[in-house]
Amino acid sequence: MTFKVKGYAAYTNTEALRPFEFERREPRENDVEIEITHCGVCHSDIHQVKNEWGSSRYPMVPGHEIVGIVTRVGEKVTKFKVGDHVGVGCLVDSCLSCPSCQSNLEQFCQNGSVGTYNSVGKDGQLTYGGYSQKVVVREEFTLKIPKNLPLAATAPLLCAGITTYSPLRHWKVSKGMKVAIVGLGGLGHMGVKFAHAFGAEVYVFSKSPKKRDDALKLGAKDLLNYEDEATLKNHQGTFDFILDTVSAPHDLNTLLRYLKIEKNLVLVGLPDVPPTLQVGSLIWGRKSIAGSLIGGIKETQEMLDFCGEHNIVSEIELIKMNEINTAYERMLKSDVKYRFVIDNKTI
């Protein structure tokens, strides 16, 4: 049994997104039905729409920064009731029994986690994301949103938030550490807020000098052009941790020069072209490069609760659904302060 939902979809990897009507399943006994009030626009949506990661399926309804209000619950749902403020991030299903899932790392489910869109669900159906009016999700993958947080500015926490919170926690970023966040976009600005909240001294590494005032307001000590020789001279070998959120190809060897010995450069940005790496950049200083993928459900809830306690939300520009194609164009020019969020009433 299904019901009709309106949304916006990419029909191919070259056309602009346009209206699309599709079917969602009626809530099963452990499902939550959510009226989507807002959905954040992640750069991953652009990579996927353009098939830059080579695994796109069409028509594609992007969107994995979903917030909204519960409208129906299945009879076995215990954690949610009609009217609750809830969120859905990048994941809508996993086996919940493999070693990864048992360790609260559903994103690494060894039997294949199911993405919120552009994925095939356990029922064989293509998943459709948050550029739509409603979504139906099993309760294990539904997050509670603290009541004090405004829904629109909370939407980006579901991906940009957890993707930066998780590595900062994993590598124990805290007071006394000098940290760089590379790229001041959706992920980057949340990285600055979290690293600052965790007590670190934060620098933004950016190619957009006009973002300096914003960087300082977000909690950074300074915004630096990391490819500038003078910057390198002043800060080489002084950073305890670098989080790289850049969406396009750039030079990792330069970034590694900023790290102290035995420290980590962690990549979350996922450009379509592999980086060139001189192995010597790692060997001299026993440095490491690591990657990180969103975060598990338990940690996503922990992040949302932390944001509720500390009043942390995203800086957003609210858009109408039919402005999505312009929003993509502006993101590709690094022109967004600092996350577009769709007002889903406009669909």
Q: Where along the sequence are the contacts to ligand NAP (CB under 6 A)?
A: 42-44, 47, 159-160, 163, 183-188, 206-208, 211, 245-248, 250, 268-271, 292-294, 331, 334, 336
Q: Choose between 121 and 271: whose C-beta lies nearer to ligand NAP.
A: 271
Q: How far is the CB of 294 from Zn ion (least distance, A)?
A: 7
Q: How far is the CB of 316 from ligand NAP (least distance, A)?
A: 12
Residue 289, Cα to own-chain centre: how many angstroms? 20
Binding part of the chain for Zn ion, among 22-30, 41-49, 108-116, 127-135 by CB under 5 A, reads: 41-49
Sign for the CA dihedral angle at 234, 275, 190, 322 comes to positive
Q: How far is the CB of 325 from Zn ion (least distance, A)?
A: 18
- Judge contact between 94 and 47, C-beta under 8 A: no
Tokens linked to 41: 């626009």
One residue of 20, 32, 41, 44 binding Zn ion per CB under 5 A: 44
| 114 binding Zn ion? (CB under 5 A) | no
Q: Choose between 5 and 190: whose C-beta lies nearer to ligand NAP.
A: 190
CB under 5 to 8 A by kind: which of ligand NAP, Zn ion, none does 70 bind? none
CB under 5 to 8 A by kind: which of ligand NAP, Zn ion, none does 184 bind? ligand NAP
| Nearest one of 159, 158, 170, 222 to 198, comparing CA atoms | 170
Strand residue runs (E) in the chain:
2-9, 18-25, 31-40, 66-73, 85-88, 91-93, 114-115, 134-138, 143-144, 178-182, 201-205, 222-224, 239-244, 259-267, 288-291, 316-319, 339-343
Q: How far is the CB of 94 from ligand NAP (least distance, A)?
A: 15
Sign for the CA dihedral angle at 167, 173, 177, 181 comes to positive
- Beta-carbon count within 10 A of 68 CB: 26
Q: Choose between 69 and 319: whose C-beta lies nearer to ligand NAP.
A: 319
Cβ-proximal residue to ligand NAP, closest one: 185
Residues in contact with Zn ion by the rule CB under 5 A? 42, 44, 159
